[in-house]
Structure 1
Amino acid sequence: MEITALVAHLRQRCPSYGGRIAGGIDFDAVANSEQLHRPSAYVISTGDQATKNDVQNGVRQEITDQFDVIVVLDTRDERGQQAVDLLHGLRKELWRALVGWKPTDEYEFIEYGGGELIVINRARVIYRYSFVAEFQLGRNSKDEPAETWHELELDGLPPFTGADFDMDCIDPADPNLQRPGPDGRIEAKFSGDVTP
């Protein structure tokens, strides 16, 4: 999933962050490179999972993209009581912005995966909210662009225009060649043309 689109969407839909939302592939790298005023959020791609191929004559898999929105707050009290209240409101904002939204047409609706505390110290509270969205790898019809090597390879084949058949029947068989047949003799020939 493209993190840039998620960041832009969250900046538009989550006013409590004041635009202080950034993205990246690893939280430590993002947090150390871009010190945003708090409250702030970081969108981090955390991986994907795939089901096994579920068709015999092609490739079709369900892929689940996973990402986290990591919220960083100033610590106002060492117990974190005020942070919990603030996180509750910020989580609602994230839900309104993300849950049920489709980042692109190929994705299903984004779903909430859960949250957890990462760090609380005298300076800040860091909390992670996880989200997932599924999409299908492998196209549904030939007029869509190829998504896998198998589809690309099939697209490179010449169109099927017909077939020639040589039929060697099981019976009657020549007892001098092989019994029962087929005996290696072609008893009938025919062609079939296919028009698009």
Structure 2
Amino acid sequence: MKITPILTQLREQCPTLGQRVAAGFDLATLQAEAPLQTPCAYVLPTADIASKNAAQNVTLQAVRDRFDAVLVLDATDATKALDLLHDLRAELWRALVGFKPGAEYTGVEYDGSELVSINSSRVLYRLRFFAEFQLGRNLASQPAESWHERELDGLSSFTGATVRVDAIDPADPNLKRPGPDGRVELTFSGDVTP
């Protein structure tokens, strides 16, 4: 998942953060001193989880892209920091839950949160989110998303077929057992026009 749409959404929809939203974070640095003025948020992709392929002859997998938003708050007044944390958590939900980070994604969903660390100067609180997309195209006219689709795109187009039928019945009395006798009883063709 591209991180830029998430950063833009948080900068535009979270007034309490006042544009103080950046990508990535180094936990040790944030615990000592945040590069941005507090309160601020750092966003980073954390993992993707793919389901098993749902089809036998094409690629069709649901992929869950996970990302974290880490809030950094001033903890000199712990009560004030924890109250602000409650308000900021709700602000992040309003900004992200249901937001689509790209045309191929479902809306973002909330996946829980946890306290990362707290000391006399900083509170770090992680909120986990995810959005899903499908790996594997829906239409042959869409660009290939897997090796199998690229391989299929390289095949020549199907233009038609000719079928020759050697029927089992009526059975040839000269054969010891009934079955196809090698004589074609029926031939037909079909052309495919796109």
**Normalized against structure 1, the TM-score is what?**
0.86
Q: Which amino acid aligns with 1:52?
A: K
Q: Secondary structure at the match of 2:70?
A: strand
Contact kept, 8 Å, 1:27 with 1:42, in 2: the verdict is no
Q: Secondary structure at the match of 2:104?
A: coil
Aligned equivalent of 2:52:
52
2:161 maps to 1:146: no
Cα gap change, 1:66/1:27 in structure 2, threshold over 3 Å: closer, same or farther?
farther
Q: How far, CA to CA, are the matches of 1:136 and 1:21 in structure 2? A: 28
Aligned equivalent of 2:112:
114
Aligned equivalent of 1:69:
69
Q: Secondary structure at the match of 1:134?
A: strand
String of CA shifts for 1:27-47, please: whole Å, max 9, x gaps. 549859x72221111101111
Aligned equivalent of 2:93:
95
For 2:156, which of 158, 166, 171 is the aligned residue?
Answer: 158
Aligned pair count?
192
Structure 1 gaps of 5+ residues are none
Aligned equivalent of 1:190:
188
Aligned equivalent of 2:126:
128
Cα gap change, 1:162/1:133 in structure 2, threshold over 3 Å: closer, same or farther?
same
Instruction: Please give the root-mean-square deviation of Cα atoms over the aligned residues, in Å.
Output: 2.3
Q: What is the CA-CA distance between 1:170 and the residue it aligns to? A: 2.2
Mean CA deviation greater in 105-114 or 171-180 = 171-180
Q: Which structure exhibits the higher relative contact order, with contacts defined as CA atoms closer than 8 Å and separated by 6 or more residues?
A: 2
Structure 2 gaps of 5+ residues are none
Contact kept, 8 Å, 1:45 with 1:68, in 2: the verdict is yes
Q: Which amino acid aligns with 2:18?
A: G
Cα gap change, 1:178/1:140 in structure 2, threshold over 3 Å: closer, same or farther?
farther
String of CA shifts for 1:22-79, please: whole Å, max 9, x gaps. 113x6549859x72221111101111112211122212111111111001111124xx
